[in-house]
Amino acid sequence: MNHDAYDDNYIRSILNSVKSIAMVGASPVNVRPSYFAFKYLAQRGYDMVPVNPGHVGKQLLGKPFVASLSDIGRPVDMIDIFRSSSHIMPVVNEALTLSPLPKVIWMQLGARDDAAAEKAEAVGIKVVMNRCPKIEYGRLSSEISWMGVNSRTLSSKRAPIPTQGMRLSLNRMSVGGGATAASDRAAKNKGEPT
């Protein structure tokens, strides 16, 4: 597998097929990237498990931290590694002791270990390196284009505001939200001359 470029269908199939995600290196500190990714994925319906031995006894969005993958006590579909490249092989080695094996090992932005990827792929586990599932989900579901990012189109037309239950291109339902004072004013003033 070429880990320098992923086909959108490969990423989409992973995001559509996994239901439970163990995030190794999750943080309860609400300014950390792992916190944002954990919260975002949980809000999109994924069953999230925070894994971090330094935070056992705490919770992340109501989910109790576990010290290691083996402490989860149930199968997980994907291991999302929020650790530097030098810490990936030990996480992959632990993941390979789980029964059943996870379907996917995902290494976050800036994290890559080709030997660990090869080891996981040898037993049939899909691997993604140097990507963020939060970013990929937003990009492939078009959520990111609602903010005018990566839409590849310049237009003065306003994108539809996401609503509760709106069907996304990843074939998942959206969450509610998106209302702000500015958007409320814009909706109210729509049709009035400027």
Q: Can you tell me the mean pLDDT for 107-118?
A: 96
CA 165 – CA 172 distance, rounded (Å):
9
pLDDT of residue 1: 84
Asked whether residue 39 carries a pLDDT value surpassing 70, the answer given is: yes
pLDDT of residue 141: 83
Three-state DSSP state, 34: helix
Asked whether residue 94 carries a pLDDT value surpassing 80, the answer given is: yes
Q: Can you tell me the mean pLDDT for 36-49?
A: 95
pLDDT band per the 50, 70, 90 thresholds, residue 194 = very low
Q: Torsion angle of alpha carbons 51, 53, 57, 59, nearest 10°? A: -30
Q: What is the pTM assigned to this prediction?
A: 0.76
Asked whether residue 26 carries a pLDDT value surpassing 50, the answer given is: yes
pLDDT band per the 50, 70, 90 thresholds, residue 179 = very low
Domain boundaries 8-137, CATH class: alpha beta
Which amino acid, 90?
P
pLDDT band per the 50, 70, 90 thresholds, residue 150 = very low
Residue spans of the domains in the chain: they are 8-137
Write down the H helix ranges in 88-191.
88-95, 114-121, 133-140, 181-189
pLDDT of residue 138: 87
